[in-house]
């Protein structure tokens, strides 16, 4: 997926169990918010994702019991 410009807002999102896959996604020219998001159990992958010319905010995010990978992200 490609998210270009604007705001991608996952604030307050709950990722519980299962798999969330952002592999090779592009987040460019905007803001990606995970404010107060909760990752509990399961797998979340940002493998090879690109974050460019913008901001990523993980303030108050909680990672508890989930496997989260930013391997190869840039």
Q: Identify the band that residue 5 occupies on the pLDDT scale cut at 50, 70 and 90.
A: confident
Give the pLDDT score at 26.
92
Q: Are strands 2-9 and 26-33 parallel, antiparallel or unpaired?
A: parallel
Q: Where are the domains of the chain?
A: 2-15+24-69
Q: What is the pTM of this model?
A: 0.78
Does residue 72 contact residue 45 with C-beta atoms inside 8 Å? no
C-alpha–C-alpha distance, residues 68 and 30, integer Å: 22
Q: What is the mean pLDDT of residues 12-36?
A: 92
Q: pLDDT value at position 23?
A: 94
pLDDT for 59 = 93
Closest alpha carbon to 47 in 25, 29, 31, 62: 25
């Amino acid at each position: 997926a490609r998210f270009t410009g604007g705001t991608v807002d996952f604030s307050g999102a709950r990722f519980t169990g299962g798999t969330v896959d952002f592999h090779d996604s592009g987040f460019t020219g905007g803001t990606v918010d995970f404010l107060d998001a909760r990752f509990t159990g399961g797998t979340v992958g940002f493998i090879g994702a690109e974050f460019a010319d913008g901001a990523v905010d993980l303030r108050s995010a909680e990672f508890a019991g989930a496997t989260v990978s930013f391997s190869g992200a840039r």
